[in-house]
């Protein structure tokens, strides 16, 4: 399997525009796209937080029995 890196741009709607001739027609293809970390990570974080905040599998975390720590527990983290 070969990896092909193709530079492209996105339009105002976020659609990917690629101008590259593969010289192969009527074939299935897989495209690997790496997005810059800064914008991608922010969007992934938002998606993750929205998903888990609405997921009923995490409802148990709202139960009083889950509140076993207080702000006085642990040690401050100074980086």
Position 39 scores a pLDDT of: 66
Q: Are 52 and 58 in contact (CB under 8 A)?
A: yes
Per the model's pLDDT, the better-predicted residue between 21 and 59 turns out to be: 59
Mean pLDDT of the region 21-43: 74
Candidate from 21-30, 31-40, 51-60 with smallest mean pLDDT: 31-40
Share of the chain above pLDDT 70, in %: 85
CA within 13 Å, CB half, 58: 8
Domain ranges of the chain: 28-62
Helix (H) or strand (E) holding 45: helix 37-54
List, in sequence order, the alpha helices (H) in 1-79. 37-54
Position 1 scores a pLDDT of: 45
pLDDT surpasses 80 at 57: yes
CA distance 14 to 9: 9
Query: How many C-beta atoms lie closer than 10 Å to residue 68's C-beta?
Result: 7
């Amino acid at each position: 399997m070969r990896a092909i890196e193709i530079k492209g741009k996105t339009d105002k709607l976020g659609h990917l525009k690629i101008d590259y001739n593969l010289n192969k027609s009527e074939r299935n293809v897989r495209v690997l796209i790496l997005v810059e970390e800064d914008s991608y990570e922010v969007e992934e974080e938002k998606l993750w937080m929205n998903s888990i905040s609405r997921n009923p599998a995490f409802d148990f975390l709202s139960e009083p029995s889950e509140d076993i720590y207080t702000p006085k527990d642990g040690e401050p983290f100074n980086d």
